[in-house]
Structure 1
Amino acid sequence: MRGISAFGAGAALWLCAATAGMTAPSLTVLCGVDEAWCAVMQKAYEAKTGLEIAMTRRSTGDILNQIRAEKAAPTVDVWWGGTGDTHLQAGSENLLEPYQPAHERDMLPWAQNFFAMSGGRSAGIYAGALGFAYNADLLRAAKLPAPTCWKDLTDIAYRGRIQSGNPNSSGTAFTTLATLVQLFGEEEAFRYLAALNRNIERYTSSGSAPVKAAARGEVLIGISFMHDAVTQKEAGSPLVIVAPCEGTGYEIGAVSIVKGARHVEEAKRFVDFALSPEGQATGAAAGQNQVPSNAMAGLPLAAPDISLIKMVDYDFATFGSPEERSRLLERFDAVVSATN
């Protein structure tokens, strides 16, 4: 996957290119979706424009932290992908540039609402429901009951058999945290998280890592967005995907232009491409199964039908605010520390 690397390696390569007199990238993008989609999107945009771009994959929380740290002198032009509440937080901190994209009129209603909520600073590019998946082969071998609800995951039978993302770095995991608060109320949600923590084998920095580990048979259960689990199942893994019985939350993945971007006109063209049917088709081409935001874009055949899933009325405005996010993360860290 040319051009995709850990941030430190990407920065070093860029510096070497500059000092050697090579052509610098015309656009720098931080990518918050799966690595495969990052690669396909980069190739498609470069083929369409004839330009070379630098694309680096990072977890959503890490992207927000980098953009904050570089506020005075941004090195990034576009933030593409990752959970929308984190984009909203960046917008509320004046870290993003307002832009009216060319395809905004073609967006589905949930994406138009998200764009309005962001004050025109972030546009929704896909939606996906939260859930979990278990490895059917491991479940059968261990003779364990199949979980169907969030609260099933606290059963002692799953001690050390579950992976989840860390909400400090993973947008998926922060969506999980916010979903549980909205489903159960904050006090019950944190009692639940303390009980669940006893069964967690590992907290991952990436939100899709838990279901990938379950697909490989390294862990029984992975908490993640359902479309990430579908991608693994389509590749042949023995995953059973669960929409929790109590209900669940969802994400709106977004794209934003970083305030102070050095290549702002090219950044606008990238956003327009990301919202076009052609740009959104790169998700299915990369084996991804999110629901695209453009009404003219084709729906991936294996995409979960989110209209059939019991969903919370996810409060993006509240959980996208810096104060609420920081407060919940601090409380989460205290719970995990206290129960370890």
Structure 2
Amino acid sequence: MHSALLTASCAAALIGAWALPAGAAGRLTLYCVVDEAWCQLMTTEFEKETGISVAMTRKSSGETYAQVKSEADNPKGDVWWGGTGDPHLQAAEEGLTEVYESPANADLHDWALAQYQASGGRTVGIYAGALGFGYNTELLAQKGLEAPKCWADLIKPEFKGEIQMANPNSSGTAYTALATFVQLMGEEEGFDYLKALHANINQYTKSGSAPIKAAAQGETMVGIVFQHDAVTMKATGAPIEVVSPCEGTGYEIGSMSIIAGARNIEEAEQFYDFALRPDVQEKARQARSYQVPSNKNAEPPPESPKLSDIKLIDYDFAKYGSSEERSRLLKRWDDEVSALPR
């Protein structure tokens, strides 16, 4: 009798399991580094399509890299989606991420595949965006200042206390700026520029997009950001003018990686493939995110800054994404720039 009840109980459990919709038991922990609205959109769309439950946290690039590294012995995340490629490359070099080749790789732009190749298959490009700055036109007019068009304009005395950028230790955007100035001007001249810029900075934010949000709200005049983030603020009706600096500028390859030792590896690979699809990449516009998508078949939002129209430097992602170089430059910035009085 007891045996029969046990058998019936097991059979009922099996039938119940078979009756569950596909993917209903699946889980995914997503570390997201783009704007909150896009993170939420990706989470919602993936859950709706697959039935997989997503636990999403949003942090900046540097914070996410630090978290992935600190959790290396007991990984809690599955996918690190978005943010500048440099920390993704550093994580790949340190074995913090997994090798994975998506079928979608065949449809990606060369710059996206360059990340994949440089990392030994541990990360891939999902979007691109050029560095620049935006300024509040109303505040500029109130101060009677001439509109800044170049990096050199931002170190003029009249902009003292009027500029925000993020801290390159926490922000991939700001690290891209640091590496851009070093490549554009040479290291010594680049650090001289950063010291002069420091005198005009009113705050170093944690998040890379925070400076332009502050400019949009009239809390600062100028924000050094990726140009697409300035476009986002302009699209909301804020009095923001977007600038591609006259000397030239660096750019990011926003990237995606599966975290080494991911507990939900099948779901992680499923999200990875999902995020590279053209129809999914085109949804970014719904969240007012205007990066250039990595899939050749995805139509960039018409508001996106056109990379072909911007004077881009030949950004060395392999060098400036390496653990040694990134750590060295950040330490030098801490010692020689951040420590200075303002």
Same fold, TM exceeding 0.5?
yes
Secondary structure of the residue aligned to 2:214 is helix
Per-residue CA distance 1:85-130 (angstroms, 9 max, x = gap): 1100000000000000120000011112221111110010000000
Secondary structure of the residue aligned to 1:163 is strand
| Contact 1:82/1:171, CA 8 A, preserved across alignment | yes
Give the corresponding residue for 1:3.
none
Give the corresponding residue for 1:164.
165
Give the corresponding residue for 1:136.
137
Give the C-alpha shift of residue 278 in structure 1: 2.4
In 1, Cα distance between equivalents of 2:71 and 2:338: 30
Give the corresponding residue for 2:34.
33
Per-residue CA distance 1:253-274 (angstroms, 9 max, x = gap): 0110000000011100000000
Give the corresponding residue for 1:273.
274
In 2, Cα distance between equivalents of 1:174 and 1:135: 23
Give the corresponding residue for 2:221.
220
Give the corresponding residue for 1:187.
188
Aligned partner (choices 318, 326, 338) of residue 336 of structure 1: 338
Secondary structure of the residue aligned to 1:244 is coil
Per-residue CA distance 1:172-218 (angstroms, 9 max, x = gap): 00000000000000000111111100100000000000011111111
Secondary structure of the residue aligned to 1:338 is coil
Give the corresponding residue for 2:308.
307
In 2, Cα distance between equivalents of 1:252 and 1:39: 21
Give the corresponding residue for 2:244.
243
| Contact 2:31/2:77, CA 8 A, preserved across alignment | yes
In 2, Cα distance between equivalents of 1:146 and 1:25: 52
Q: Are positions 1:124 and 2:116 aligned together?
A: no
| Contact 2:26/2:267, CA 8 A, preserved across alignment | no
In 2, Cα distance between equivalents of 1:129 and 1:25: 36
Larger Rg: 2
Report how many aligned residue pairs link the two structures. 318
Secondary structure of the residue aligned to 2:76 is coil
Per-residue CA distance 1:37-80 (angstroms, 9 max, x = gap): 00111010011001210011000000000010010010000000
Equivalent AA in structure 2 for residue 326 of structure 1: S
Secondary structure of the residue aligned to 2:279 is helix
Equivalent AA in structure 1 for residue 83 of structure 2: G
Q: Are positions 1:320 and 2:342 aligned together?
A: no
In 2, Cα distance between equivalents of 1:242 and 1:146: 10
State the TM-score, normalized to the length of structure 1.
0.92
Per-residue CA distance 1:276-295 (angstroms, 9 max, x = gap): 01221221121110000001
Give the corresponding residue for 2:263.
262
In 2, Cα distance between equivalents of 1:55 and 1:83: 18
Secondary structure of the residue aligned to 1:134 is strand
In 2, Cα distance between equivalents of 1:150 and 1:228: 18
Give the corresponding residue for 2:115.
114
Give the corresponding residue for 2:74.
73
Per-residue CA distance 1:212-262 (angstroms, 9 max, x = gap): 111111100000000000011011011111101110000000110000000
Give the C-alpha shift of residue 339 in structure 1: 3.7
Unaligned regions of 5+ residues in structure 2, if any?
A: 1-23
Equivalent AA in structure 1 for residue 235 of structure 2: E
In 2, Cα distance between equivalents of 1:67 and 1:113: 23
In 2, Cα distance between equivalents of 1:159 and 1:115: 41
Give the C-alpha shift of residue 151 in structure 1: 1.1
| Contact 2:132/2:243, CA 8 A, preserved across alignment | yes
Percent identity (aligned): 55
In 1, Cα distance between equivalents of 2:286 and 2:26: 24
Give the corresponding residue for 2:285.
284
Give the corresponding residue for 1:43.
44
| Contact 2:31/2:57, CA 8 A, preserved across alignment | yes
Equivalent AA in structure 1 for residue 214 of structure 2: A
| Contact 1:164/1:210, CA 8 A, preserved across alignment | yes
State the TM-score, normalized to the length of structure 2.
0.91
In 2, Cα distance between equivalents of 1:166 and 1:25: 37
| Contact 1:277/1:294, CA 8 A, preserved across alignment | yes
In 1, Cα distance between equivalents of 2:104 and 2:87: 22
Go from structure 1 to structure 2 and tell me whether the alpha carbon gap of 1:144 and 1:120 turns closer, same or farther (over 3 Å shift): same
Give the corresponding residue for 2:12.
none
Secondary structure of the residue aligned to 1:97 is coil
Secondary structure of the residue aligned to 2:223 is strand
In 1, Cα distance between equivalents of 2:177 and 2:341: 19
Unaligned regions of 5+ residues in structure 1, if any?
A: 1-22
Q: Are positions 1:230 and 2:226 aligned together?
A: no
Give the corresponding residue for 1:13.
none
| Contact 2:26/2:51, CA 8 A, preserved across alignment | no
| Contact 1:194/1:339, CA 8 A, preserved across alignment | no
Give the C-alpha shift of residue 25 in structure 1: 6.9
| Contact 2:25/2:52, CA 8 A, preserved across alignment | no
Q: Which runs of 4+ in 1 moved over 4 A?
A: none
| Contact 1:25/1:54, CA 8 A, preserved across alignment | no
In 2, Cα distance between equivalents of 1:238 and 1:228: 14
Give the corresponding residue for 1:20.
none
